[in-house]
Amino acid sequence: MKSKTLYLIIKISALLVILLVAVFVFYQFFLKNSIIQNFEESENIEGGVNSLSSSQAQQLELDGYESVEHKILNENTVNYCIGKKILAEPEFIRTISLIDQRLSEHTQDSQMSFHFKNISNCLEIKYTKTNHDLEGYFSFSDTDSGEGRLSIYVSSDYKHESDYLTAMLIMHELTHAFFFYSSDVKQLSINECQRLGDECDMQKLENLFGNFGKKIACYTEEASAFIYESILFDSFNQNEKLSIISRSIYFPDIGEIDSFNYMLNMRLQAAAECGNSSGQVDSVDCLIDVFENDIRTNPYYQEQCKN
């Protein structure tokens, strides 16, 4: 009896290993695509990477502080978190360092890397008790977030998770923090321009901002957060990816893996709907649409987006 049971366990384990390898190989050859490059090239699409365009960034670098409008934009961007230091447990500081490293190494968008690095000094990341379905959230509350402070809360269930899975959750919430920061920087700059009166040209300031600080739809912002989570996953090496995928296969019912499973399922759906002959998703617009359309049907996000 024992030998039969042992044989059955070995057989099931072997099947699980084969399934794990099959999923990983499928991801590597059919899902891993040029999402990072394409998302960077979509800087001007609504809901894309809501930052300064490369031409605007180059113009700022060339002009420096030659105009009042440039000075206002530069100072409010750089000074937003000046003198601040991230307040978080050591494991969160490690994940922020991991995110910074991977964004710097695997993206060519220096503005995106700059802004994420800049706001990391303002972060306050804390564990909190949440319901089973909520892994973490960025707080938009005036008491939690504002100039010099950006608060992210993470489910206490993550205390025993790997840095890689935690980094993906933080990347998601960091995207919300970025949208909040960009909007806040824009409003602070507008306020200063209004205070200066005729010394500041409001239209010129608006033109400098472009999409940076632009208000976008709630569902689109949520879709962008999942895409940045996906970008971070693409930056991991094979062993790092395998550790998360194996976690998903062996322990699919544990809440902390839900966000990853959802992101991966949406990538699969996008590949089926608008993938090329190799199964790769070349269109970021398509990927955003797939995420956004599904998010719109989710009761949790429907309630959140009402507010």
Mean pLDDT over 43-53 rounds to 40
Tokens of 107: 């993206």
Of 3-12, 55-64, 113-122, 285-294, least confident by mean pLDDT is: 55-64
Do the domain assignments include residue 278? no
Do the domain assignments include residue 38? no
Handedness of CA 38, 40, 42, 45 (dihedral sign): positive
Between the ranges 16-20, 24-28, 211-215, where is the mean pLDDT highest? 211-215
Mean of per-residue pLDDT scores for the chain: 77
Number of domains the chain is built from: 1
pLDDT band of residue 91 (cuts 50, 70, 90) is very high
Mean pLDDT over 226-231 rounds to 88
How many degrees, rounded to 5, is the angle at CA 10 between CA 9 and CA 14?
Answer: 115
What is the extent of the structural domain holding 144? 55-229+295-306
Own/partner long-range contacts of 127-134 (Cβ < 8 Å, ≥24 apart): 127/89, 127/153, 127/154, 127/155, 127/156, 127/158, 127/159, 128/153, 128/154, 128/155, 128/156, 129/155, 129/156, 130/155, 130/156, 132/255, 133/255, 133/258, 133/300
Do the domain assignments include residue 237? no
Please give the pLDDT value at position 300. 84
Per-residue pLDDT tens over the stretch 164-185: 999 999 999 999 999 999 999 9
Do the domain assignments include residue 19? no
pLDDT band of residue 211 (cuts 50, 70, 90) is confident
Do the domain assignments include residue 92? yes
Mean pLDDT over 103-114 rounds to 68
Do the domain assignments include residue 239? no
pTM above 0.85, yes or no: no
CA distances to 93, 126, 163, 177, 234 from 90, rounded to whole Å, are 5, 11, 11, 20, 24
- With a pLDDT cut of 90, the percent of the chain lying above it is 25
pLDDT band of residue 48 (cuts 50, 70, 90) is very low
Per-residue pLDDT tens over the stretch 188-209: 999 999 999 999 999 998 888 8
Per-residue pLDDT tens over the stretch 118-169: 788 899 999 988 765 688 999 988 888 988 899 999 999 888 888 999 999 9
